[in-house]
Structure 1
Amino acid sequence: MFGIRRPLRRALSLGLPTAWGALAITYKLSCPLARQDGLMARIVTSAVFFAVGTGLILHMRQALVRELKQARRVAGVAQSVLLRPPPPRVDGLNVAAAQLSADRGASVGGDLYEVIATEHGVRVVMGDVRGHGLPALGTVAALLGSFREAAHDERDLGRVLRRLERALERHLRERARDTPDATVTEEFVTVLVLEIREDGELHVLNCGHPWPYLLSGTSVRPLSRADPLPPLGPFPLPAELSATPCGQLRRGESLVLFTDGAEDARDARGRFFSLPETLEKAVRDHPVTAQQILRAVLTALLRHTTAVPTDDIALLVLQNGRLPAPTPGARGTARPATTHPQPTTRR
């Protein structure tokens, strides 16, 4: 069915302009009025050609609008496959995520995130590709594909990051070969790779990305204030990569990962969006769920930017909802067997 519609649509798109042009030529050659030089004849001839030209312009406009809508649909489907929503719970962690694109034409952005449960712990990536829209989509695909494999394969978090670096290098070489463009050599990606172990220990490698916020009770603070590594792309990673230990994510605590579009968002008067202040308001009524935190930030962001962000924005909330480990002797756990002394008999 679809194979028949497409050739038919192409035939109509070519046939209508041809028919309009044939009508104009036929009028000019066969109509006696078109050969006269009188004022009335000129007015009629001008009206005919004006109608033909208007018809051609309207037809081309409709064809372009159809193509644009089709491109938006394809781009939206591609991004939904690449940046698929994470499950609401991953290995005891409650997860909530959202992405806002600044490219209203293509409805795609250059932000990426993923949450994967592995034998090494829950591993998370949050990244921001330079630029947005369709050109950034290929870079997002290359990095996410590499992370989804490396997160399971590599025991060391540094080797996961190195795999991302190699994936980006290959992708940029292929882009430069297929579509020579000077801006390809200027591409870079900020990336944060995070590991949450079974006991809640946090280990992070940060390449030029904003540090997440740790929400503990009603307090909000950056997870770390250490200087990050340079973004991936312009400079190679150091030979020795060691993840930064950042304490523990205790039960009930949350991490909010984001791209810089969140803190760089401005209102009509040029004022920046205050993400820490919004998070403090969100956790004022404790406890709150990951979805409630995400909803509060999104609502405040859209209100601040009047629903028109100037940069791509990605948000990811991870909340430790793991049950505490059972204590020895608790109900439902095995107790060590006890022995009772046997009575002795006197001889």
Structure 2
Amino acid sequence: MIRIKARAPTRRLLSPGLPTAWGSVAITYKLACPLAQQNGLGARIVTSAVFFAVGTGLIVHVRRTLLRELRQMRKVAGAAQSVLLRPLPPRLDGLGVAAAQLSADRGAAIGGDLYEAIATEHGVRVVMGDVRGHGLAALGTVAAVLGSFREAAHDEPELAGVLRRLERALARHLRERARAEHPSSCRDPDNPVAEEFVTVLLLEIGRDGQVSALNCGHPWPYRLGGHGVEPLAHTEPLPPLGPFPLPADLTAAPRGELRPGESLVLYTDGAEDARDARGRFFSLPEVLAEAARAPAISPQTILRKVFAALLHHTRGTPADDVAVLILRNERQRAKCSEPSRGAGLCRYAAPPRGRDQPPQPAADDASLAAPP
């Protein structure tokens, strides 16, 4: 630590010292060297060579400085991404997981899309969202929503409670941002901060495979299974968070069962709104249908196919942020409960618990049974 601190002032002194030295060489040569005062061809060639060397040295120095700053910025961006959008584990409570994001801002690693998946005592809870706008300007809102979800997912017994916590966190963030950017914006309804909104999709996948969802203005995910590719639901979602309050009667709606071998593909609208040079939209269902034809395809493989097709469609320049999250039920069906008990629910065998999974409650007909 002492050695690093001692070198820092030296590096700062040497940084402007090198261009000054090159400039001194050029001026000294021009004023003091007799050859520089001559007009012959040989003298002109030597003078040109001296100034060419000086210019080349300055360009090399500037290039090295910019590359050093770029490497430092990439380290900072990588650290910010690892905190804001933490890498998801490949397996989460018996579900295979794969996720990635593509920012519309060139050189940015993160943007206005958000996602997270957490194993809780209530099941695996997932959030997928899209902040109004894109790129680096939306990072504050992304941080506020994700921070609230990571706490509420464990604390709230109902999915509706999680959504209300996200709404309060977003409102608090926008008020603080308005006071910081525009002190008078709290009394100005036309201020741009008042128009901010976030589309949010909340999912809860129980240990029996049952899926519950709350959707605020977000595209419904696709289900990949024996019936091909189909949306998880066809109902109209609630309005996005921000402009309108949530309804008083808010209950997560059941959306069927995610059976073993089936996958859910969550995405932001940047995927389906992406256009090619002719203005044609990207067909996400067609890409998913082609990927689903392969037997026992992994979430990572589906993710690679989607992003490869998307980048090919947009020629590597998407106009909006794109995030994709894939969940695959990799549990194995064991047996169903007896008809006399009236539930008809099935047990599933999950893989051994890893570090990313919470302690499992006692198994019953609606929960996971540990594998032998």
- Fold agreement, TM-score > 0.5: yes
Amino acid at match of 2:124: V
Quick one: distance in 1 between partners of 2:130 and 2:34?
A: 67
Quick one: distance in 1 between partners of 2:72 and 2:26?
A: 32
User: What are the Cα deviations for residues 30-63 of structure 1, in whole angstroms up to 9, with x where unaligned?
Assistant: 89999x9x9x9xxx99999999788767755653
The number of equivalent residue pairs is 328
Please say which of residues 152-161 and 317-326 is displaced more in the overlay.
317-326
Q: Which residue of 2 aligns with 1:140?
A: 142
Quick one: distance in 2 between partners of 1:83 and 1:217?
A: 32
Q: Which residue of 1 aligns with 2:84?
A: 82
Alpha-carbon distance, 1:6 to partner:
3.2
Structure 1 unmatched runs, 5+: 330-347
Quick one: distance in 1 between partners of 2:178 and 2:13?
A: 36
Amino acid at match of 2:203: L
Selected match of 2:75 from 61, 68, 73: 73
Q: How does 1:1-347 map to 2 (within 5 A)?
A: 1-19=3-21, 59-60=61-62, 62-180=64-182, 183-326=192-335
Quick one: distance in 2 between partners of 1:169 and 1:94?
A: 34
Alpha-carbon distance, 1:200 to partner:
1.8
Structure 2 length-normalised TM: 0.75
Q: CA, structure 1 residues 33+178, in 2 after alignment: closer, same or farther (shift >3 Å)?
A: farther
User: What are the Cα deviations for residues 138-172 of structure 1, in whole angstroms up to 9, with x where unaligned?
Assistant: 32222212111100000111110111122222223
Larger Rg: 1
Following TM superposition, where does structure 1 have runs of at least 4 consecutive aligned residues deviating by more than 6 angstroms?
21-34, 44-58
Structure 2 unmatched runs, 5+: 186-190, 339-372
Percent identity of the aligned residues?
Answer: 71
Quick one: distance in 2 between partners of 1:327 and 1:226?
A: 30
Report if aligned partners of 1:75, 1:134 keep a CA contact under 8 Å in 2. no
Question: Considering only aligned residues, what root-mean-square deviation do their CA atoms show, in Å?
Answer: 3.3
Quick one: distance in 2 between partners of 1:281 and 1:227?
A: 27
Q: CA, structure 1 residues 158+327, in 2 after alignment: closer, same or farther (shift >3 Å)?
A: closer
Quick one: distance in 2 between partners of 1:249 and 1:20?
A: 68
Quick one: distance in 2 between partners of 1:177 and 1:27?
A: 58
Report if aligned partners of 1:76, 1:108 keep a CA contact under 8 Å in 2. no
Alpha-carbon distance, 1:113 to partner:
1.0
Alpha-carbon distance, 1:328 to partner:
7.0
Quick one: distance in 1 between partners of 2:299 and 2:248?
A: 37
Report if aligned partners of 1:192, 1:204 keep a CA contact under 8 Å in 2. yes
Please say which of residues 100-109 and 216-225 is displaced more in the overlay.
100-109
Structure 1 length-normalised TM: 0.80
